[in-house]
Structure 1
């Protein structure tokens, strides 16, 4: 399977979830580089400073310092010089219908994916 993306940014405060998701992304040959940030604030700062230039982001919703939706509000304020828009997938264990609706209604979110990420879900992202 060919690599689909150059840089994937995984933003989730849970170490175990990051470990599992990263392994699936790596074995699925999803991106050349996978960067993990446990803090959405750190992820925003890295993007703002040009240290991280993702073309795809997997974003958790429920995090202590900043929720995924708060991240999207701040992401909106970034002045990123991108040739192609970043594809953002909400990757969450939330069963809250409000979270799913907010994901669907966000202009940044391509899709809501339930944790844990599976090979089947990863395959569906390519179609």
Structure 2
């Protein structure tokens, strides 16, 4: 099993938060998870956790959110990632199957490990955590 201690889930959908919690439980994954409803909340929290034990190891990031979407989050993340004490793995998880979003995600190949479609299956979830 891959070792992740602190995880950020950045998505404005409460149903998605519920599904992720159920997948953690079903797969017996015990991690510290912080949930955010937009990229601004997440990036602000991340900035406050730089060089602490609370930095996330993993970020599950939606694209389409109010206030600050996933693309803007990634731009801000790019600016601060060198200040983090560890490499943070980012997965995009979106309901968008638009080719332009898939292509845009490739512009962030240094930040984004993989693009997953919602709803996330248990098999997809396990490829991240197991």
Q: Deviations over 1:43-96 (max 9, x none)?
A: 11111111851000000001111110110001112253323x100000000011
Aligned 1:63-102 pairs, distance under 5 A: 63-78=65-80, 80-83=83-86, 85-102=87-104
How large is the Cα RMSD of the aligned pairs?
Answer: 1.9
Which ranges of structure 2 fall in alignment gaps of 5 or more residues?
Answer: none
Compute the TM-score of the two structures, normalised by the length of structure 2.
Answer: 0.85
TM-score normalised by length of structure 1: 0.87
Deviation at 1:3, TM superposition (A): 6.3
Number of residues of Structure 1 aligned to a counterpart in Structure 2: 125
Mapped partners of 2:58, 2:66: distance in 1: 22
User: Cα 1:8–1:42, aligned 2, differ >3 Å: closer, same or farther?
Assistant: same
Aligned to 2:111: 108
State the distance in 2 between where 1:67 and 1:61 align: 6
Partner SS state of residue 5, structure 1: coil
Q: Paired residue for 1:58, among 57, 60, 64?
A: 60
Alignment of 1:9 with 2:8, yes or no, is yes
- For structure 1, the residue ranges without an aligned partner over 5 or more in a row are none
Q: Are 1:5 and 1:31, in contact at CA under 8 Å, matched by a contact in 2?
A: no
Q: CA deviation at 1:126?
A: 4.8
Q: Is the 8 A contact 1:9 1:35 kept in 2?
A: yes
SS in 1 for 2:31: strand
